[in-house]
Structure formats: structure tokens, C-alpha cells
Chains A and B, each alone.
Chain A
Amino acid sequence: MAIEVREVEKTFRIPVHRIDSFKERMVHPLAQPEYRTLEALRKVSFDAHRGEFFGIVGRNGSGKSTLLKILASIYRADSGSIRMAGRVAPFIELGVGFNPELTARENVTLNGVMMGLSRREAQARLDAVLDFAELREFVDLKLKNYSSGMLVRLAFSVMIQSEADVLLIDEVLAVGDAAFQQKCRDVFRDMRDGGRTIVLVTHDMTAVQRYCHRAMLLDEGRVTYLGEAEEAGRQYLRMNFAKRDLGETGADGLTLVPDLLARVTDAWIEDTDGTRIENVEAAQPIRINAVIEARQDLSNPRFTVQFNNADGVPVFDLERALGDDEHPIRIAAGTSSQISLTVDENPLMPGRYVVVCWLGLLRHEEDAAIQSMKLLEFVVFGLARGQGVVSIPGELDVRVGEPDEGAPR
């Protein structure tokens, strides 16, 4: 066990009319300041195991960030108990607590000592941090002169290089440019596989489903679900939808909706003879079928079937859109449709794969609703041909000696 949380409660008293000057105190010496109480956490209990990637999801104000701050010893819980094993590194609101008036060098050292390293260890860590953040040339620049992207990169590197046993992370996955994001994803995966305990607070359901072993859903300070990450994400989207009639709107105008559009009633893999199988041998054809039942009228739906490997990397997808504005196609509520997918030249390397179907509807001009449905998981077994994500048939030729003059034959 790495984290043990028992019946933690936290109530904030928010002054309705804040008395923050002596003058007001003088004028109303006996006025009881009026408080509104906000129960941020109500009897929250959970365990996270050593090496587990644990997600905490919930809407804004559900108490998830408060919980993280209590775990990080920044707030104190009103009641309940928390026990934790090892050193803790928090990453909160895209930062680790830098002083903008100091340089990167000073901040990194200071942060290390705050985390419990000795001064010597903290200074030794500086190089690794700067290398990861790719900010070596700015080491003696005051942080107030950093761009926000540079700041986040530095903070993220500090957290990663802290070698803490428990990482507490609040909303981090949209950090820096694409290359740095990829680097972070790699690190996340390594850390998950490397036995470190990670608590991730996020709105990003794809991240939860991609990284987390288990997840917890908080609503108004209560635990409403604790268990499988997939299900926590689904319940979160459902709850969001019910409360606002809108899912989380992504940056690209997509609205992620819960299972309101359709549901999977059956999904299977079959071999060339049509018998259902669990797993596929390397280089053998993949045939996947799924039956999807519409829960409401779907007009011009677009189906995308996506293959993700065990690292959460999308390997490839196949897409099919039905109908368009001129020739609309409508699937009535309650109707079942069968999806059949065939990959004759199976390029997948041996390993575990997750197949997801994205169902997209164009609702208005730019606004699309998308629902993700997990179809199935399967294993490709057999011998790996070389390295990489996929193996593609092809030839590599090497000729020793002088290259041929003139045009290729």
C-alpha cells in the first residue's frame, strides 16, 4: 500500500462579507463575520497501491484538487486520517511552487530541499532537470522572465527528476509543445511501469482511460465511484451530461458524450472460418465484428474503429461515414447495426491491443458529438519480426561495392 485515506473531511468557511481590515473590525466590533460553509470533502476513503496509477476525476468544485492538496500536506484535513509511504512530489496548478524572483538554478535547488533532499543532492539534480526541460541556457534567468511554456516544462522536469515514491499531479497532460508532450507520455509510461505510485487529478477522460489502473469519481465531495478507470470515465461523462446537457467540450469543438448515442451489444473476433476466437496470431488476418444499438436517432453517423496498443498509442484506425447532407442516412433509435472490420495484412506486433469505436455525429455547423465505446481487447501472439509498433512487409537490399552509375534499372 502506498496511500491510505480514511474518512477525510474538509470544510471551508467562506466569508460572505469578508472582514479583512481593522477598520471594519472597529466599525463592527461585535459583528460575527457571516460564513458560508463549503463541504469540500465528505468522508472520502480510498487506497492506492504501490506502483499504481490512480486517477481522481470529477467536475469543477467536486473537491478533487482539495483532496490532492491535502495529500500533499498543503492543506490540513479537518478529520480523518491519511497515511503515505515514502517521499511525495506534488505538481499542482501546473507548477511545483517556484519563486518568480529567483533563477532556475536557485529554484530547483530550493525545491529539492523542500522535498527533503539535502543541499548537495538537490544541486546534483540540477543537470538532469535542465536536460529534461531543455532549458540549460536559461539556468541563470529569473523565472519571471520565463514564458509560461518554459515554466511548466521546468516544473514538470523537477517533479519527474525528484525520484519521489508518490507523485501527486493536478491537470498536467497539456504541457508544452507536441514533442515535449510525447516526452511526458513516455515518462508517464515508464513511471507507471517502474513501480512509482501516481495520483492524477484530471478532466481529461482519455488520459484517465489511457494511463490509470484505477480511478475514483468525486461529486460534491463524495466518492461516487471507485474502481475501473474505464467505468469512472464513463460515469463522469454521464454525470456531466446529466447536469449540464453538455459533455466536456474539447479544444477542437468536439463534445465528448457518455453512452447516450449508442451502446455495444456484442463484439467479437473471428477467424477466416467465422469461428469466434479470443486472440490472433501474428500476421494472421484480423476480423472484428460488433453490434451497436442506437439509443437515439443518429443522422449521418461516422464510425471510427481505432486500434491502441498496450502503451495507449493509437496504431491505426479505419473510418466509415454514412450519408451526407445531400443523401442523409438516419439510424432510428433502437435499431441495431453491425460493424465488420477486416484487416488481411495484419501489421500488428505481438502484444495486447484495445479496440475502440468512436461514434461521431455532426450536431450543428461546427459542433460534433463524439462517443467512445470500447469494443474489445485482444492479444497478438507469435514471434516478433524486428522492433517497432508495427511490422510491415517489405524488402531491404544491401549491395556491397561501388554503387551503379546511371539510372536505376
Chain B
Amino acid sequence: MSADATHGLQPVRGPSALGGGWRRFGELLYLISVTEFKKTYFGTVLGYVWSLLRPLLLFAVLLFVFTKIVRLGSGVPHYPVLLLMNVVLFGFFSEATTTAVMSVVTQESVVRKTQFPRLVIPLSVVVTSFFNLAVNLVVVLIFIAAFGVSPAWTWLLFPLIVLVLFVFATAVSMLLASLYVRFRDTAIIWSVVASALFYATPVIYPIEIVPDRYRDLIMLNPLTAIFEQARKWIIDPSAPGAVSAAGGWTHLLPGAAIFLGACAIGAWYFNREAPRIAEQL
């Protein structure tokens, strides 16, 4: 066999999580995310307005309940704005992960017939939710201005908050999406866990009112540190922030370990399952 005859032959290695070149990965991710984003609101009467209205309605209910009835927010500076920001951030995490659970199975017809980097599927769900988050953050900004929160240089650190949240949402999504292919209970279990997380994260309450003996427990949730830090940087510089809320650096470590562990397990498991996803559908 001459060298010329075999020219251009490339090994075929089968499907994988990544692979196939970054340009293609990027274009696919962009295309799927944008199409999904448009689709979410296409055909509904109010269109994009829903994207804003949804968190605002939830926000209004929570605001009424927790300032007029339960009075959780008394004494917390700018509680309404804080509540809105938390609802929006948590909404991003829960929307991304809940949609991601079934994402691979929803895209079955595509997965079973085409070769493409499998990671695009859960990742595009997170990116679509991120688009929604971006729209919602505009509203948060308006409320921040309206409630007279004073600007601080720490606002510049906000992208860091979003980045960390994005990474966590992606890792959890990867794990859930690949687990769901094998275990269909994953969807139900996760919907319960996501509701539980809403209360296990300082979304509607400030961390200060959590009794000290439960602090370490609630700091196990990686979202707690993220939300507390966002509160300190954006809304209220006098808030404790992640470190002092936990009671020192060392108390942050278990949560950080869980964060890193989730990322590692998510990436490892998805990468392991990716070549076989098409067979198991």
C-alpha cells in the first residue's frame, strides 16, 4: 500500500464529550443556546416579557410574605433588592439544572443519529439559562438604582459570582443529564433536591438569623458562600460575607470541597458516559 493511497485517512474514535474542534464546539453551543432561548418565548403572547415577569411575580409574592407576614427582612438593609437578586440568581441555578436533567433524552433524535461533542447538550441548557439571567439582571439593576443602593467598586467583582455559579450549575447539569439516561428517577429526585436547596441557601433569609449550631451545616451548601458574597459585594458592604458568615476560612473548606468534588464528579462521569449515551437511549 503506497503512502499516497492512505493519504488523508483519519482515525475514527467514536463519540465523546468534547472532541471535533473548538470552533465547531463553539458554533454548535451558540446556535443551540440561541435557538432554545428564542424558542422558550416564541408563541407566547407576551414573548420576552415573560422572561422578566416570571421572577418578578415570584419576587412580589415573596416580598409580600416576608416583609408583611413573616418579617424576615426587618433590619436587613435593602432587603427587597437583596431578595430580588437572590431570587434571580437562584432561579438561574434551578432552571439550568432542572432543564438539564432530561436534556440528553429530550435530544434523543439528534443524539442517536449524529456525531457531535455530547457536552454541548447540557452546556447549552446552562447557557440558555444564562441568557435569561442576563435579561433578569437588567431588572435587578433597575431596582438597585430605584432603592438607592450606593455603588461600590466591588460591583466589578460580580462577574466572578456569576462565573462560579455558572461552573457549579454546569457540573451539576453534566452529572444529572448523564445519570438520567440510566436512572429515570433522577428527575424526580432532583426536583425535590432543588426545592430543598431553595431553603438551604440564604435566598429569602439573611445568614445572620441562622442559629450558630446550624451555620456549618448550611455552609456545606456551596451556594451559601456564593450568595453571601454576592450580597456583601453588591447590596450591602456591611453584610458579613462568606468568610465571616462561616466563622472563618476553615469553616468554608467543607463547602469548597463539595463544590470541587461536584465539579470533578460531574466532569468525570459525563466524560465516561458520553461515548455510550447513544446506545442507552
Residues of chain A touching chain B, judged by Cβ–Cβ distance below 8 Å, are: 1, 4, 12, 20-23, 25, 69-77, 81-86, 88, 90, 92-93, 95-102, 106, 109-111, 113-114, 116, 118-119
A4–B9 contact, CB under 8 A? yes
A21–B183 contact, CB under 8 A? yes
A116/B39 contact (C-beta < 8 A), A83-B12, A97-B114 known: no
B279–A1 contact, CB under 8 A? no
For B21, what are the chain A residues with a Cβ–Cβ distance below 8 Å? 116
B109–A23 contact, CB under 8 A? no
Whether B213 is near chain A, meaning CB under 8 Å from some CB there, is no
10 CB < 8 A contacts A-B = A1-B5, A22-B185, A75-B279, A93-B113, A95-B109, A97-B111, A106-B35, A110-B31, A114-B115, A116-B21
A92 to B278, CA, bound (A): 13
Instruction: Supply 11 further A-B pairs (C-beta < 8 A) apart from A73-B115, A85-B10.
Output: A1-B9, A12-B279, A77-B14, A83-B6, A85-B9, A98-B109, A99-B110, A113-B27, A113-B31, A116-B24, A118-B23
What residue in chain A is nearest B14 (Cβ atoms)?
Answer: A76
**Minimum C-beta distance from A2 to chain B (A):** 8
**Minimum C-beta distance from B33 to chain A (A):** 11
For A1, what are the chain B residues with a Cβ–Cβ distance below 8 Å? 1, 5-6, 9
For A114, what are the chain B residues with a Cβ–Cβ distance below 8 Å? 28, 110, 114-116
**Minimum C-beta distance from B266 to chain A (A):** 18
A90–B114 contact, CB under 8 A? yes
Give the size category of B's interface with A: 35 or more
Q: Which of A20, A70, A74, A109 contacts B31 (CB 8 A)?
A: A109
Q: Which of B5, B10, B15 contacts A74 (CB 8 A)?
A: B15
Q: Which of A20, A72, A76, A111 contacts B276 (CB 8 A)?
A: A76
Q: Which of A69, A85, A96, A102 contacts B278 (CB 8 A)?
A: A69
A62 to B202, CA, bound (A): 58
For A99, what are the chain B residues with a Cβ–Cβ distance below 8 Å? 107, 109-110
A21/B185 contact (C-beta < 8 A), A101-B39, A114-B116 known: yes
**Minimum C-beta distance from B241 to chain A (A):** 38
A106 to B23, CA, bound (A): 19
B184–A20 contact, CB under 8 A? yes
A23/B185 contact (C-beta < 8 A), A75-B15, A95-B109 known: yes
**Minimum C-beta distance from A168 to chain B (A):** 10
A73–B39 contact, CB under 8 A? no
A113/B28 contact (C-beta < 8 A), A95-B113, A97-B109, A100-B109 known: yes
**Minimum C-beta distance from B126 to chain A (A):** 18
B12–A82 contact, CB under 8 A? yes
What residue in chain A is nearest B7 (Cβ atoms)?
Answer: A85
For A82, what are the chain B residues with a Cβ–Cβ distance below 8 Å? 11-12
What residue in chain B is nearest A84 (Cβ atoms)?
Answer: B12
A70–B20 contact, CB under 8 A? no
For A96, what are the chain B residues with a Cβ–Cβ distance below 8 Å? 113-114
Within 8 A of A (CB), among B93-120: 107, 109-116
B14–A21 contact, CB under 8 A? no
Within 8 A of A (CB), among B105-146: 107, 109-116
B31–A119 contact, CB under 8 A? yes
A90 to B1, CA, bound (A): 28
Q: Could you give, for residues 27-70 of chain B, a 1 whenever the CB lies within 8 Å of some chain A CB and a 0 otherwise?
A: 11011100100010000000000000000000000000000000
A113 to B30, CA, bound (A): 11
**Minimum C-beta distance from A19 to chain B (A):** 9
A70/B14 contact (C-beta < 8 A), A21-B185, A96-B114 known: yes
For B182, what are the chain A residues with a Cβ–Cβ distance below 8 Å? 20
B27–A75 contact, CB under 8 A? no
For A97, what are the chain B residues with a Cβ–Cβ distance below 8 Å? 109-114
B15–A90 contact, CB under 8 A? no
**Minimum C-beta distance from B120 to chain A (A):** 9
A1 to B20, CA, bound (A): 22
What residue in chain B is nearest A66 (Cβ atoms)?
Answer: B279
Q: Could you give, for residues 203-245 of chain B, a 1 whenever the CB lies within 8 Å of some chain A CB and a 0 otherwise?
A: 0000000000000000000000000000000000000000000
A66 to B6, CA, bound (A): 25
**Minimum C-beta distance from A103 to chain B (A):** 9
For B24, what are the chain A residues with a Cβ–Cβ distance below 8 Å? 113, 116
A118 to B109, CA, bound (A): 22
B115–A76 contact, CB under 8 A? no
**Minimum C-beta distance from B251 to chain A (A):** 32
B9–A84 contact, CB under 8 A? yes
A92/B113 contact (C-beta < 8 A), A75-B14, A76-B13 known: yes
For B73, what are the chain A residues with a Cβ–Cβ distance below 8 Å? none
B14–A98 contact, CB under 8 A? no
> Which 9 pairs, one residue from A and one from B, show the smallest C-beta to C-beta distance?
A76-B14, A97-B113, A73-B115, A97-B114, A85-B8, A83-B9, A82-B12, A76-B275, A97-B110
Whether B156 is near chain A, meaning CB under 8 Å from some CB there, is no
For B192, what are the chain A residues with a Cβ–Cβ distance below 8 Å? none
For A111, what are the chain B residues with a Cβ–Cβ distance below 8 Å? 114
For B163, what are the chain A residues with a Cβ–Cβ distance below 8 Å? none
A74–B114 contact, CB under 8 A? yes
